[in-house]
Chains A and B, each alone.
Chain A
Amino acid sequence: MKPTRPELPREFIAVRKRRRITDAMAELCAKQGYEATKIADIVRLAGVARKTLYDNFEGKEEVFLAAFDSATAEMTARIEEACQEADGEWVDRAAAGLQAFLGYVAENPAAARLCLIEAMSATPTASARYDETVQGYVELLRHNTPSDKNLPDTLEETLVGGVAWILHQEIRRGGAEKALDLTPELLDFLVSPYRGVGN
């Protein structure tokens, strides 16, 4: 008798379908931008029924926001894990965090593009969420670098903005997969302002 396939739990299938939908949104945004992307495009690429999309999401914007949230959650988790596991000085933590971030970009170019580029212009809610996420990374950086009364309050904001800008350009040039090549320069950029602090 042929062995039957074990039934996958319902929730697992549902999660996988959601994932296919959000992945499809990222791919389509990368190719043609948010505005030009239609529900029909998403369901076709994701291989799901229209009904399935609308069972899970209210509409196009919600798909986008879900894609954004899951990508940034993954990014943040990788960075935090790398920082915690890093041994040694704060510079090693910063290096580990940066590499985790760039590694994510290199492995997930479409998702990275969605977060770093499309979110800013997709919808007002998306750009507000982008701003909140940036604030989160500003605080993460602040937490993992030395504090000193001589350092400007705006330093971490400026540093995160600079890194985001470099990546924004790199992704647009089609260089997302090589993001890790930027590590030495970006690390230097991140740590230089702190050199000489507390010496």
Chain B
Amino acid sequence: MERLPRGRHGLSPEYVARNQRERLIAGLIEVLHEVGYQKTTVSLIGQRASVSKSDFYKHFESKDECFFAAYEVAVERIQSAVQEACAKHRQEQWSLRVRDALVAVLNLLAADPPLAGLVLVEGLRAGRGAYERYQVALEAFVPELRNGAPQAPGREPVPEAMDEAVVGGIASLLGRRVLAGEAEQIDELLPEVLEFALTPYLGAAEARRIISAG
């Protein structure tokens, strides 16, 4: 990342401040991916972001605060991608909406392994405070899944606990792939992940039929 020239550069303090904050967040995400949460330090983040330690502390009180800000930014990016995909295609059919949402998520994660690592892995490993954010992020997907889901005749209504387990299971699977260094291939998991998401509502056979139909 380029350092802004020292001294007067005609940029408003607000711009420089915003720019620094973004660079610090991006820097944290990168350093985190390389060395993990425990070894990530304010120094390393600052170095990566080309921001001095004292400037770091103008934006964040601690490494944790920077982490939480980064997490929020990352989750927003994922949610935007999902909303964009759903708005673009406006699928009538529930299963296709779920597919579009999953495609958006998997593609985003595969294209940005450090972001994937932050959200899926560090969310549970960075300790206190991170868990709440991980949980909130996952919970946001539950109504997305349920919204407009069909009530198949002869089947019991799907309890919300099942949706939580589905979302949690998928997140866990993707997290393990990131840990294995296979983040970039996450998008290849679409058929399996989609089948897993559709099965509780449609049954395995119907889920598979829809997926193979394209």
Binding site for B on A (CB under 8 A): 33, 35, 120-121, 123-124, 127, 131, 134, 150, 152-155, 157-166, 168-169, 172, 182, 185-186, 188-189, 192-197
From the candidates B38, B126, B128, B162, name the one contacting A189 in the complex (CB within 8 A). Answer: B162
Select which of B179, B193, B196 is within 8 A of A193 by beta carbon: B196
Asked if B173 and A165 sit within 8 Å, CB to CB, the answer is no
Q: Given A161-B170, A169-B135, A189-B200, 10 more contacts at CB 8 Å?
A: A120-B124, A121-B126, A152-B192, A154-B196, A159-B169, A162-B166, A162-B170, A165-B165, A165-B172, A193-B204
Q: Are B172 and A196 in contact (CB under 8 A)?
A: no
B contact residues around A120 at 8 Å (CB): 124-125
**Bound Cα distance from A162 to B161, whole angstroms:** 10
Query: Which residues of A sit under 8 angstroms from B159, Cβ to Cβ?
Result: 185
Once bound together, how far apart are the Cα atoms of A123 and B35, in whole Å?
A: 13
Contact status A124-B128, CB under 8 Å = no
Convert B175-191 into 0s and 1s, putting 1 for each residue whose CB lies closer than 8 angstroms to a CB of A.
11001000000000101
What does DSSP make chain A's interface, helix, strand, loop or mixed? helix
A127 and B125 contacting across the interface, CB-CB below 8 Å: yes
Contact B173 A186 (CB under 8 A): no
A154 B38 Cβ-Cβ under 8 A: no
| Contact string against A for B residues 102-142, beta-carbon threshold 8 Å, 1 for contact and 0 otherwise | 00000000000000000000001111101100010010000
Q: How far is the CA of A189 from the CA of B160 in the complex (A)?
A: 12
Asked whether any CB of chain A lies closer than 8 Å to the CB of B22, the reply is no
CA distance A161 to B200 in the complex (A): 16
Residues of B within 8 Å of A196, CB to CB, are: 203-205
Q: Which partner residue on chain A sits nearest B159 by CB separation?
A: A185
A101 vs chain B, min Cβ distance (A): 14
List of 10 A-B pairs having minimum Cβ-Cβ separation, nearest first = A161-B172, A165-B168, A162-B169, A152-B192, A162-B165, A121-B127, A158-B169, A161-B169, A158-B173, A189-B165
Give the docked Cα–Cα distance between A154 and B165 (Å): 15
- Measured CB to CB, the nearest residue on chain A to B38 is A124
**Option from B131, B165, B191, B193 in Cβ contact (under 8 Å) with A166:** B165
**Inside 8 A of A33's CB, which chain B residues have their CB?**
127-128
Complex contacts, A155 vs chain B, CB 8 Å: 192, 196
Knowing A33-B127, A121-B127, the reply to whether A162 touches B36 (Cβ < 8 A) is no
Max count, chain A CB within 10 A of own CB: residue among B36, B170, B171, B173: B173
Residues of B within 8 A of A35 (CB): 127
Q: Is the CB of B172 within 8 A of A150?
A: no
Question: Could you name 14 residue pairs across A and B whose Cβ atoms are closer than 8 Å?
Answer: A121-B124, A121-B125, A152-B191, A155-B192, A157-B172, A157-B176, A158-B169, A158-B196, A162-B166, A164-B168, A166-B165, A166-B168, A172-B131, A188-B162
